[in-house]
Amino acid sequence: MAFTQTQVRKLAGKLPERFVKTRTERGMTLSYVEGWHVIDEANRVFGFDGWDRETVSAECVWQDARVAPKACSYAVRVRIKVRAGKTIVSREGTGIGHGTGTTLGDAHESALKEAETDATKRALITFGNLFGLALYDKAQTGVQRAKGHEAALVAWTLARSGQPPQPFESPEQFCSAAKEALRLAQSAADLEALWTANAPTVAQLRAIQPELRTRSGSHYADLLESLYREQRKALEQQGPQSAAVADVVAPAASPQPSSEAPMTEGPSPAVVPMTEAPADKSALTITMPRRIRDAAHLKYVAALPCLVCGRTPSHAHHLRFAQPRSLGSKVSDEWTVPLCPIHHRTLHDTGREEAWWQVKGIDAKAEAERLWGKTHAAGVSAMLPASGVASRDRSERSTPRLEPASATGTGHQPADVLRDTPAPQSPPTDDRGLPLPLNLKVETS
């Protein structure tokens, strides 16, 4: 073997944790080693005269002298040669550097240095964990942790008032339990006591686990502290009415109004799932729009011809501007209109949906309201054709088949009335005999 036994033993070692640095970039936490450490390790393992660095190429790939400060970028290729006995081991690496400065010369100098350092690290990383290869493993098994680090990982204990301390094996489990305990605090005093008892553990979490962050770069300890402040503010604002608010959000399953009813009569409120009695958020002090889901209405809308061109089949498109945005939730199903696949894709590729409808000359919200009122004035199943989507007349939107329910009736049309409804008229056509888009403003000369 070209390398000595001492060199092989050093190259097979692990990267000390104290040399691992982290930074947040594009919402992700990245680990890296600094350039000076890589060069220092090369001198320690190979010797000061045992290796060479050669810049193979350096190219300025971009520069802008019009902005202040001046900026430019370099791409550099570096070759590393290591003398191992009579053998020369050669490795190459490529790096990119970006520099800024008050003058263009300062910008070029900064970018060139950064690119050369990056290329040097990429060339030396092929020699093992000491030069940063261990950081490419997500578990970082090639990183040598400090003494006592493993023991500290299992020392996460959640303290609660009136309960024995609850230990956890990992900081992630501790954070999950602490978050749940903060959310379930019934009063400001209980919340304060819970946070005071666990604040040292949260501080230890920040010191021992600096890499414990979300994808957005927020540390778990900061999230717990932010949740504590939000809960404290909410509980202080509620004051003595907190119990009443809890009854509105999660009503008890027992029908007896008395709070002294025996626990054996009926199920306990503590074991009743919250999903069995969801809160009507539109009735709260700070109202939220109701998002209704109606599969039958979506099926009916999809059976109609396209609102723009009259083609079939159609998709039930949700009008995104009809309600405020919500993370992971569409608008209510009452705000849907039929669109063919072509116009549906075109609309989704458009940044401003309202402007798209204005160009088409269509009041989409009015059409959605009309369709919703139509399906809920009578059963949706009675309005769908038996022969499927292809048999639907193109004038379904312009000529309603149902008459509005009478004030003295039950709100639903009898089946014989639906059968006796006259067939709709043919849609208007242009001079070429093609159907005109419905609800479209047509200018006449």
pLDDT, tens digit (0-9, with 9 covering 90-100), for 352-375: 888 888 888 899 889 999 998 888
In a domain, 165, yes or no: yes
In a domain, 301, yes or no: yes
Angle at 401 between CA 397 and CA 406, to 5 degrees: 120
Q: Work out the average pLDDT over 136-149.
A: 77
Decide which of 192 and 270 is more confident.
192
Q: With cut-offs at 50, 70 and 90, classify the pLDDT of residue 118.
A: very high
* Cβ–Cβ under 8 Å, residues 358 and 330: no
Q: Please report the pLDDT score of residue 401 as a whole number.
A: 41
88-109 pLDDT per residue, tens: 999 999 999 999 999 999 999 9
Q: Work out the average pLDDT over 106-128.
A: 95
pTM: 0.38
Do 21 and 139 lie in one domain? The reply is: yes
399-411 pLDDT per residue, tens: 344 344 444 444 4
Determine the 3-state secondary structure of 115 from DSSP.
helix
Q: With cut-offs at 50, 70 and 90, classify the pLDDT of residue 49.
A: very high
In a domain, 99, yes or no: yes
pLDDT exceeds cutoff 70 at 427: no
Instruction: Name residue 278's amino acid.
Output: P
Which of 112, 128, 144 represents a domain boundary (last residue)?
144
| H or E, element range at 245 | helix 242-249
Q: Please report the pLDDT score of residue 436 as a whole number.
A: 56
The closest alpha carbon to 438, from 389, 375, 394, belongs to 394
In a domain, 270, yes or no: no
Q: Work out the average pLDDT over 329-341.
A: 88
Our count of domains for the chain comes to 3
Do 193 and 321 lie in one domain? The reply is: no
Cα separation, 38 vs 212, whole angstroms? 25
Do 103 and 226 lie in one domain? The reply is: no
Decide which of 150 and 360 is more confident.
360
CA 53 centroid distance within chain: 44
The closest alpha carbon to 305, from 320, 292, 316, belongs to 316
Q: With cut-offs at 50, 70 and 90, classify the pLDDT of residue 241.
A: low
Do 208 and 91 lie in one domain? The reply is: no
pLDDT exceeds cutoff 80 at 166: yes
pLDDT exceeds cutoff 50 at 394: no
In a domain, 439, yes or no: no
CATH code, domain with 91: 3.30.390.80
Angle at 162 between CA 158 and CA 168, to 5 degrees: 20
Do 12 and 140 lie in one domain? The reply is: yes
Do 368 and 344 lie in one domain? The reply is: yes
What is the residue-averaged pLDDT of the chain? 76
In a domain, 122, yes or no: yes
Cα separation, 233 vs 236, whole angstroms? 5
In a domain, 367, yes or no: yes
Domain region containing 343 = 295-420
186-239 pLDDT per residue, tens: 888 888 888 888 888 888 777 777 778 888 888 888 889 889 888 888 888 876
Q: Please report the pLDDT score of residue 269 as a whole number.
A: 38
Do 162 and 118 lie in one domain? The reply is: no
Do 25 and 130 lie in one domain? The reply is: yes
Tokens of 156: 């996460």
